[in-house]
């Protein structure tokens, strides 16, 4: 029996976005809620709360608006892929369809940095997206940030937050 592919969401982005944050593909809780990072143990929104006052206690639409106002864009590398469950390790790489980054960068010409939320998003972007982007897009600075997923438990929240503070520096530049 063929498994159905999970489909990602449209980006959260304003035209003047400066930093693009990429995940891999929404997990089960996110797909059910139709929200990025809806899994309650994923600390993405806790980090965004510390940095941009866009924490999990703020309604989702307002969190998205706060990211836009802070010139942060949020998306996933995968437009769709087969993934039983929510673990990135379960993504069937033969089924990955990437999002249309050429179009995204054309519509968001001020993006100056790409940040990836964890190793899987990083590998997918480097292997599947960068090689098909024209210059100078393929050379945009790429920053690997520690995964906010509960599956990535080798760092405590404070350690993850400290690494994610890079966003402040990128936006100030």
**Residues assigned a catalytic role:** 42
- Residue 92 φ/ψ, nearest 5 degrees: -80, 105
* Tokens found for residue 74: 């949020």
Answer whether the bond into residue 136 is a cis peptide, omega within 30°.
yes
DSSP string for residues in 2-36:
PPPPEE----B--TT--EEEEES---HHHHHHTST
Measured in degrees and rounded to the nearest 5, phi and psi for residue 121 equal: -60, -40
């Amino acid at each position: 029996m063929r498994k159905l592919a999970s489909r990602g969401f449209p980006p959260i982005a304003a035209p003047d976005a400066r930093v693009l944050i990429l995940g891999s593909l929404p997990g089960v809780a996110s797909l059910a809620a139709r929200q990025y990072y809806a899994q309650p143990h994923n600390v993405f929104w806790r980090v965004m709360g510390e940095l941009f006052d866009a924490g999990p206690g703020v309604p989702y639409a307002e969190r998205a608006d706060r990211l836009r106002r802070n010139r942060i864009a949020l998306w996933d590398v995968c437009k769709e892929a087969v993934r039983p469950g929510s673990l990135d390790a379960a993504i069937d790489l033969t089924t990955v369809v990437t999002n249309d980054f050429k179009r995204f960068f054309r519509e968001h010409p001020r993006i100056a940095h790409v940040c990836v939320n964890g190793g899987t998003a990083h590998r997918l972007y480097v292997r599947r997206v960068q090689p098909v982007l024209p210059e100078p897009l393929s050379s945009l600075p790429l920053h690997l940030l520690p995964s906010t997923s509960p599956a990535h438990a080798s760092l405590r929240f404070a350690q993850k937050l400290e690494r994610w503070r890079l966003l402040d520096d990128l936006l100030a530049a």
